[in-house]
Amino acid sequence: MSDTLTGTAAVEPFDAVDVIRAKRDGGRVDEDALRWMIDAFTRGYVADSQMAAFAMAVLLNGMDRDEIRVMTDAMIASGERMSFAGLGKPTVDKHSTGGVGDKITLPLAPLVAAFGVAVPQLSGRGLGHTGGTLDKLESIPGWRAALTNDEMTAQLRDIGAVICAAGSGLAPADKRLYALRDVTGTVEAIPLIASSIMSKKIAEGTDALVLDVKFGSGAFMKDFDRARELARTMVELGTDSGVRTTALLTDMNTPLGLAIGNANEVRESVEVLAGGGPADVVELTVALAREMLALAGQPDADVAAALRDGRAMDAWRRMIQAQDGDPDAALPVPNETHTVVAPRDGYVTRLDAYGFGVAAWRLGAGRARAEDPVLHSAGIDLHAKPGDRVAAGQPLFTLGGPDDSRFTRALDALDGAWELGDAAPEGTPLVRERIAATS
């Protein structure tokens, strides 16, 4: 007689306490037990307190490559898995670990699409000092982030680029586990970070993936060696799951570009698509596009030419229009501004990405809680970057917002976040290292 008919509970094949002990004592967790742990947590059998204990054990003792692969696969199996096999063209995605002024997805997706490659870019919203791609795009009147799978597939087939919100059906186990990690001091565990990111990206169904893993003051990973470890772990995960994956390690000690916010970052992205824009934004956009196109079978694509000749801009306009946005509409502008000027002649030697990210957040460009709104006109425009010579009284940066009520707290965040010196600082590369799959 079945358990349902007899009213007895189904017998679970494993015990959460045994799984926790195995990892607590520095051992490996058996594949079947690890798959069960993720599934049982997703359906509510394993309690939050037990999964929190397991996450802490992972933070302290780590996981080997196969354990991370199994956990990621189990998280993927907790939800739907998309497929773009019927598109008739290669698909490649990009994921950034987040930074200040990082608007690269906006020009990158249409640039790669201009070469006949489909870019299914499932993006998120900002929280804290790092901006969100969807928040930036929602500065454009009419633009919508929510698409059905059918709409997404049709847009990829017709235009080649989609930037939209991820559906709730992708890796629901990760959503539960991430919320738990956030309140238990286990966010920093590299196996859990890598599994969180890659479970959603692999479930998305893309053929290839390029990772932009940032390090420095404005990045999630401050330390370069830790960022490299995360990059290697994610490249291995993608490779083990049959997704061609590479990573670039990029510097986030200084804000990227000259715009930090939402509407102003859209303007800067359009400048890049028009063949202009700040040199660092162009450099990283081109570097990531070359990586993506190489994985899609076009290693010799002339990426810079597509920015110069308007092909990327055409793809941008069609992408925005397909999601009900008006690419010609005026973007929000601040009603009030406050400009900080150089107190003396000298060189800009430092603009701390974290300080400027917090200041933009306090202006309303970001959110403290997931449900908070963002102010699309709020943000910071930089007028000089490290290495630039400035004269006394010359503008360094401008704060903007709907009113001036937030300026004082934003300026407090910038106290000590910028410096002038008598000599230009030594330049550092924006792209520090490339990580590729190994056997």
CB 379 within 8 A of CB 100: no
Q: CA-based angle 194:366:335, to the nearest 5?
A: 155
CA dihedral 341, 342, 348, 351 (to 10 degrees): -40
CB 376 within 8 A of CB 319: no
Backbone angles phi, psi at 139, to 5 degrees: -70, -25
* Surface-to-core class of residue 429, CB atoms within 10 Å of its CB (0-12 exposed, 13-18 middle, 19+ buried): exposed
Three-class SS string for the chain?
CCHHHHCCCCCCCCCHHHHHHHHHCCCCCCHHHHHHHHHHHHCCCCCHHHHHHHHHHHHHHCCCHHHHHHHHHHHHHCCCCCCCHHHCCCEEEEEECCCCCCCCHHHHHHHHHCCCCEEEEEECCCECCECCHHHHHCCCCCCCCCCCHHHHHHHHHHCCEEEEECCCCCCHHHHHHHHHHHCCCCCCCHHHHHHHHHHHHHHCCCCEEEEEEEECCCCCECCHHHHHHHHHHHHHHHHHCCCEEEEEEEECCCCCCCEEECHHHHHHHHHHHCCCCCHHHHHHHHHHHHHHHHHCCCCCCCHHHHHHCCHHHHHHHHHHHHCCCCCCCCCCCCCEEEEEECCCCEEEEEECHHHHHHHHHHHHHCCCCCCCCCCCCCEEEECCCCCCEECCCCEEEEEEECCCCCHHHHHHHHCCCEEEECCCCCCCCCEEEEECCCC
Residues annotated as catalytic (active site), given as ranges: 95, 174, 181, 196, 200
